[in-house]
Structure formats: C-alpha cells, structure tokens
Amino acid sequence: MSPCLGCALSSLSIEDQEDVQFPYAMRDLPPISQSTPTEPNGRLKSSSGTSSLPCSIYFPPTGSPTVPPRRNHAGLDPQFLPLRKQIVSQVSLESPLSPASLPRSPWGRPDPYDSPEDQDKEYVGFATLPNQVHRKTVKKGFTFTVMVAGESGLGKSTLINSLFLTDLYKERKVPNAEERIGQTVDIVKHMIGIEEKGIKLRLTIIDTPGFGDAVNNIKSWKHIEDYIDQQFEQFFRDESGLNRKNIQDNRVHCLLYFVSPFGHGLRPLDVECMKALHEKVNIIPLLAKADSLTQAEILKKKMKIREDIRQFGVNIYQFPDCDSDEDEDLKTQEQFLKDSIPFAVIGSNIQVESKGRKFRGRSYPWGVVEVENPVHSDFLLLRNMLVRTHMQDLKDVTREIHYENYRAQCIQNMTRMMVLERKRSLREKYREGYEADFPLPLAVVDTEKERQIFEKDEELRKMQEVLERIQEQIQQGQ
C-alpha cells in the first residue's frame, strides 16, 4: 500500500467541512512554484518506468516549494504584494511594516498579481476568482462514483484494489457453481474516504456480483440499469425539494466494463448490456487480465473490440476533443488515450520483489509483470485518466448529458400525466355542465383543441352506448 493513501483512509463526510478543519486541509496543499520543472497545467513526466510510453503520463506538481520567496523592488515579500495597493491607501509604503502586520493571503495560493511588472498597474482584482473557487471546492471535498461490471473471475475486485490502493473485498464470499445457476445480480456499494495532500475524495465503488454468471443472463443488466436510474431519481427528488443545500450526489460517473481476454471481441451479453446502459452512464471498456495475452494478441483483441463497438452502435465514453490551440503534448496524450481503448489491464493485490525492487505485480515461473509498468499494461493510463485527467469530465458528462436526459424525460412524463389528469377533470366538469367553473390552465392550452377532443370523446361514448344496446337486443332475440 502506498504510504500516502493507505494510511490516510478514513471515512469522510462530503458535506461542507467545518471552517476549523480548513486551514489544515489548505496547509497540505502543494503550492505551485513558478520555477518547478513542470509543463503547462502543472504536469510532470512520470519518473519511474514510464519513459517507454509513447507519450508522457502526467503527474500533478507535488512537494514543497522549490523557490525561495522573491523580494520585490519595494522589499516586500511577494505574498504581500497583491495587497500593496490596499495597504498604500491606508498607510504609507515608507512606513515600517513588519510582515506580521500585513494582511496575509488567506489561502496561500500564488497570487495572479504577484509579478514585478504588475506592481505599477491598476487592477480590479478578479483574476483571483479561480483561487476563490479552488478554496471552496477543496473545502467541500470531492466525490466520485465508479461502477464495475463483467463476468466473475475477470479480476474486477483485484483491479479496484490496485487502482485505489485499498483492500475493499476482505469479507467477500465467492458463490459456488450451484449457487450461481440461478443467481441474480447484486448491487454492492463500498464507500471510502481518501485524503491526499489535503484534498479529500469520497470514492464510491459499485460492484455488481453475479452479472453474467447465471445460466440464463437475459436482462441480467436490468438491476444495474435500475440502480443507475434510482440514483438519478434520488438526485432529481433532492434537487426539486426544499433542502437543496446538502444534496448527496450518488450518481454513477463511470462504468468500468470488463471484457474477457479469452473471447473473440465482445460477447452478445456485452453488447446487449452496454447498449442498455450507454445512454445512462459513461462506459469505459477494459480488456481484463492482459498478462494472459501476448503483445500481438492484445493489439488484435483491442482492434476487434473497437470494431464491435462501432459495428453494434455502442456509445462508450468519448474523450473530449482538444481545441486546436491546445498544446501539442496534450493533443498527443488525448489521441493516445483514444487509441488505447479498451484499456488492457492487469491487477494484483500483492507486492513482488525483483532485481532489488518491490512493486505491485504478479510473479510467474518465467518472470514478473508489473502492474504499473506501461509496457506491461494500460493500468497506469487508466488510473491517470480516471483520477488525474478526466475525473471532472466524467462528472460533467454525467451531469450534462446522462442526468439531463433522465431529467428531461421525467419532466416530459410528469407533464403528460398532468395534461391527462386535467383532461379527465375537464371532461367530468363538461359532463356535469360546470362550464362556468372552468379551471385555470396550468400551461398554455389550446382550448379549441380541448373542446374538439371532448366532443369526439362524447361521440365515441354515445356510439358505444348504441353498440351496447344493439348487442343487448341481439342477445334478447336469440
């Protein structure tokens, strides 16, 4: 287990933390040093074992500041510079200001006005808005929900443990063959709080044991679909309710779908399941147990799976396109991610030792595989994508596309029900001759159409009465 994650596992409430806790969280934040050898967006190239990857894997800036605080021409510590103008209006710059007497930057982030050339310019100050957003979001913490699906034995639990450096499945009981014959799909929820460098993440893993294990797997994804819908429904209810402040977001942000390395592309069950879910969740297909395939086989299987996905019209998660003015490195990185689908992954719950190094891997008579070695698998690519580069996009797509679809459908159904109900009550009132008491329409209604529908309904009703009378006469005549 990694020392930074493993020891810090603790349950975390995602509601606004007390202000008291905040300074602690912020103190641990890695300040972004201006001369740290980072690329734009604070990304660094991976150090260990990643050099052979066709493109760089990014790491956020870590560690403490490497640059000693610069002093400006006025002899003030840079962290006080943004406040200089404010101070100038209160006291003369020549006055002996001790650092302690200066108002401090409240959250220790680098100030956008903190450059010598900015000192003589006048600013309103809104370039600090990102810092304010940063402070609020860090204070609130982050949530992320991942669902895993695929037939049992494909290494789902092992991969989740490897991805998030946890041990989530200690008490898991694997059912025997008899128990699996008529098995239904269960939904098991694991929640963990992870804290790294003062940033808190409430991670929810939704497991779907039993999926694809029964003799008859028809509609075995129904439970999964229902679960995703239930989370949307709950969110919709909470959002439309009175107390919208502390809404818990349990919507599923991505589905890691495990494809067997032993088949030829997707199985019918995979296609059916993915198609049933692709409008509701971001599907990321994975080629499981990549260590059981040769390099050439991996490439072949990846191509076949991509072809099946295209041919059967499965909509998996689409990595966002880069803008034309983005830097070239980012564009290469995005293209590489797209070309790597499905990610060929390896998982392991144990550390192995080889050539004096200890790492998470699998040991075989002919050698060892390293889970985090990009030459051996796409594990690192997947983890970086999930956590470092695309977590926010997965959440945005969930909110803006999948949830919006659900919400629009819900509102449409509700409106239809309301219209039907109103029509029914209108009909009753017409019938009872309550024209004077015409109800106020809830929405703009075409009254002429309403009247026509009512008249047609009445005609139908009368014809039905005539028909019934004729039937009665026929029966009496027999």
One-letter amino acid at 440 equals L
155 scored as a contact of ligand GDP (CB under 6 A): yes
**What's the rounded Cα separation, in Å, for the pair 462 and 460?**
5
383 scored as a contact of ligand GDP (CB under 6 A): no
One-letter amino acid at 311 equals Q
Which of 346, 382, 394, 426 binds ligand GDP (CB under 6 A)? It is 346
Q: Is 144 helix (H, G, I), strand (E, B) or coil?
A: strand
CB-wise, 292 or 415, nearer to ligand GDP?
292
**What's the rounded Cα separation, in Å, for the pair 291 and 367?**
11
Please state the closest distance from residue 186 (CB atom) to ligand GDP, in A.
12
Q: Identify the CA nearest to 234 among candidates 252, 253, 251, 255.
A: 251
CB atoms within 10 A of CB 341: 20
255 scored as a contact of ligand GDP (CB under 6 A): no
- Window 283-312: residues binding ligand GDP (CB under 6 A): 289, 291-292
Stretch that binds ligand GDP, among 72-80, 154-162, 185-193, 450-458 (CB under 6 A): 154-162
Please state the closest distance from residue 222 (CB atom) to ligand GDP, in A.
20
CB-wise, 152 or 204, nearer to ligand GDP?
152
154 scored as a contact of ligand GDP (CB under 6 A): yes
Token readout for 128 is: 């600090």
Token readout for 428 is: 């009753």
Is residue 152 within 8 A of residue 179, CB to CB? The reply is: no
CB-wise, 20 or 215, nearer to ligand GDP?
215
Please state the closest distance from residue 341 (CB atom) to ligand GDP, in A.
18
208 scored as a contact of ligand GDP (CB under 6 A): no
152 scored as a contact of ligand GDP (CB under 6 A): yes
220 scored as a contact of ligand GDP (CB under 6 A): no
Please state the closest distance from residue 260 (CB atom) to ligand GDP, in A.
10
**What's the rounded Cα separation, in Å, for the pair 209 and 172?**
10
Q: Identify the CA nearest to 110 among candidates 138, 82, 85.
A: 82
158 scored as a contact of ligand GDP (CB under 6 A): yes
Please state the closest distance from residue 210 (CB atom) to ligand GDP, in A.
10
Is residue 225 within 8 A of residue 277, CB to CB? The reply is: yes
Is residue 60 within 8 A of residue 33, CB to CB? The reply is: no
Contacts of 41 (CB under 8 A, 6+ apart): 58, 330
Which of 347, 384, 394, 402 binds ligand GDP (CB under 6 A)? It is 347
Please state the closest distance from residue 394 (CB atom) to ligand GDP, in A.
22
351 scored as a contact of ligand GDP (CB under 6 A): no
Residue 162, exposed/middle/buried by CB under 10 A (0-12, 13-18, 19+)?
buried
**What's the rounded Cα separation, in Å, for the pair 334 and 307?**
20
185 scored as a contact of ligand GDP (CB under 6 A): no
Please state the closest distance from residue 156 (CB atom) to ligand GDP, in A.
3
Please state the closest distance from residue 356 (CB atom) to ligand GDP, in A.
24
CB-wise, 149 or 341, nearer to ligand GDP?
149
**What's the rounded Cα separation, in Å, for the pair 106 and 131?**
10
Q: How many helices (H) and strands (E) does the chain have?
A: 14, 11
H/E stretch holding 259 reads strand 254-259
Residue number closest to ligand GDP, CB atom: 155
Stretch that binds ligand GDP, among 98-106, 156-164, 228-236, 276-284 (CB under 6 A): 156-164
Residues of this chain that bind ligand GDP (CB under 6 A) = 152-158, 289, 291-292, 346-347
